[in-house]
Structure 1
Amino acid sequence: MTMETEMRPDDRLRRFGLRPTRQRMALADLLFAKGDRHLTVEELHEEAVTVGVPVSLATVYNTLHQFTEAGMIRVLSVEGARTYFDTNVSDHHHFFVEGANEVLDIPVNNITIGNLPEPPEGMEISHVDVVIRLKPKQR
């Protein structure tokens, strides 16, 4: 476990400039307690309900977007209607297992990105997301 995953939810929230409300702390605890992971709003809401955290789906959605704006997590869009939130904010890429709706980190240094286009004037590239889609081999 890294120091980041061992950080208390209230300390983590304050570090990113967010007020540690009861619901934010409970969601941050669920989100970060298991190390790096990829979750949808619905999956985190289900986890919260399962452990008895009284929170609405809208609150989970709003909280995850607040965490994203603060830089605590990042958004990963791999399917049109499904957005995953990634607790690993370092530069890395992903495998997406089609049919299983599973997102896996690609080990760092396994992909080299080159020949990126020049961004338009006044813009800079913030990051590049590579998603490699996987499916079971056909026999």
Structure 2
Amino acid sequence: MTDTMQSHLADHHHNVTDMLRDAGLRPTRQRVSLAELLFSQGDRHISAEILHEEAVQADVPVSLATVYNTLHQFTEAGLLREVAIDGTKTYFDTNVSDHHHFFVEGENVVFDIPADGVGIGRIPAAPEGMEVVRVDVIVRLRHKRKR
């Protein structure tokens, strides 16, 4: 996310419109409403279902399918980062910087690992005609069992 986009997050409503335009997205009413819900609470990891619930509670008339489509559009535009867990659960991260995640099994909670918390010594060379875009590390957690 550019410095311009981040500064837009500070002032909100009309700046959400500017942020969407800067990202190459038309600021429709639904996109603006969803962006306000997403970006008004600082860095967060959210599923489409949770964002849909928040939209319903905020009286934003939007279907779950539209929420999914919008989250994917925001991700393609560089406003969000997709964090896939097991291929069955996907979270969207408002922090698009390079970082890794903890996942608490059984609670469906995702949170950031501090920037210096993971060191990657070696990754394989990309196959011919390909390039490595990013390396995602997800460290799975569970509460210790009492003995």
**For this structure pair, what is the TM-score category when the shorter chain's length is used for normalisation?**
over 0.9
Counterparts in 2 of 1:2-41, with a 5 A limit? 3=7, 5-7=9-11, 8-41=15-48
- TM superposition shift of 1:4: 5.2
Amino acid at match of 2:10: E
- Alpha-carbon RMSD across the aligned residues, in angstroms, is 1.1
Cα separation, 2, equivalents of 1:4 and 1:96: 30
Shift in Å, 1:80? 3.0
1:110 shift after superposition: 1.3
Amino acid in the other structure paired with 1:94 = H
Equivalent residue, structure 2, for 1:119: 126
The aligned amino acid for 1:105 is: D
**Unmatched runs of 5 consecutive residues or more in structure 2:** 1-5
Aligned position for 2:143: 136
Residue 82 (structure 2) aligned to one of 75, 78, 81? 75
Counterpart residue type for residue 130 of structure 2: M
TM-score, scaled to structure 1: 0.95
Match of 1:102 in 2: 109
Asked if 1 retains the 8 angstrom alpha-carbon contact of 2:99 and 2:115, the reply is: yes
TM-score normalized by the length of structure 2: 0.90
CA distance, structure 1, for counterparts of residue 43 and residue 7 of structure 2? 13
* Structure 2 counterpart of 1:91: 98
**Aligned-partner residue type, residue 25 of structure 2:** L
SS class of match (1:58): helix
